[in-house]
Amino acid sequence: MEQNNKGYKSGFISIIGRPNVGKSTFLNRVIGQKIAIMSDKPQTTRNKVQGVLTLDESQMIFIDTPGIHKPKHKLGDFMLKVAKNTLREVDAILFMVNATEPRGKGDEFIIDMLENNDTPVFLVINKIDQVHPDELISIIESYKDKYDFAEIVPISALQGNNVERLLETIQTYLPEGPQYYPADQVTDHPERFIISELIREKVLHLTREEIPHSIAVVIDKIKKEEDTEKDMIRVMATIIVERDSQKGIVIGKRGALLKEVGTRARHDIEMLLGTKVFLELWVKVQKDWRNKSTHLRDYGFRE
């Protein structure tokens, strides 16, 4: 704890909203580092990722909550439970919606979920760079009576409009508290998770629609190579798919696709860790892993 001035504020802020409203984009802008994975495909972010913003007067710990939606299978149930618990623990909730889309069932589901929650909820209307001010007014109208929002703040996470003001407003809601994390720390132990998400992102990008989001990437080992001249980190990871046919797709002709996944992921991991990386990837078939609760723990889903 480097700083414990009287009046210093700190707290946890959860970001919730339908897939693709811009939660990761916002977090990345605020933290200024690629810690949450951005993608046009929904549900790329499946676990809590914390980004820490340290300012002179406050420290904000952001939680990029997975897209909350009606559960379709066991993993969905699990995610929803994690999300609900998270929402009770935090100091503020940013409920992010897309200014270019009318209020939908997914938004209603989230609003229902917020019932019986004392945490202040901000309605953050994102992507205002894409709408006319009149449209923005009708979006606000369509939400404002649905919940007792603490604040309604329009922003553009992509272009940065009003993001500064949003941060200042959040600060006013935070309790007095210590600086939980050192100022130079932007994430709370997520290297393993980030690395697995970087690999998963590359697989999803390179396979387009052929490989569903049901894949998982498990980091088997991250180890410093002692016997090399330069600093070098060895990362061993396994890509888990559900069917043999998917295994074939991920490996590709003569291993070409897997090799490309490795090249791209290695590049990003090297940027993240700031050292040379040796990446070893395996592909494994594990049928129906999503529905096996016992396996969820192994894949890094914690309650």
Binding region for K ion (CB under 5 A): 39, 44
Instruction: Give me the least distance between CB of 126 and ligand GDP, in Å please.
Output: 5
Q: Angle, nearest 10°, between helix axes 191-207 and 244-251? A: 90
Rule CB under 5 A: say whether 24 interacts with Mg ion. Answer: yes
| CA pair distance 39, 48, nearest whole angstrom | 16
Report the nearest approach of Mg ion to the CB of residue 253 (Å): 32
Q: Which of 8, 33, 34, 38 binds ligand GDP (CB under 6 A)?
A: 38
**Angle formed by the axes of helices 74-89 and 105-113, nearest 10°:** 50
- Does the annotation flag 19 for ligand binding? yes
Rounded CA separation 145/181 (Å)? 38
Closest CA to 59 of 190, 195, 188, 159: 188
Q: Using the rule CB under 5 A, is 45 a contact of Mg ion?
A: yes
By CB under 6 A, residue 23 contacts ligand GDP: yes
Q: What angle do CA 232, 235, 241 make, to 5 degrees?
A: 160
CB of 31 to K ion, least distance (A): 17
CB 21 within 8 A of CB 126: yes
With CB under 5 to 8 Å by kind, the binding choice for 55 among ligand GDP, K ion, Mg ion, none is: none
Whose Cβ is closer to ligand GDP: residue 40's or residue 227's? 40
* Residue 252 annotated in ligand binding: no
Give the annotated binding-site residues: 17-24, 64-68, 126-129
Q: Note the residues at the interface with Mg ion (CB under 5 A).
A: 23-24, 45
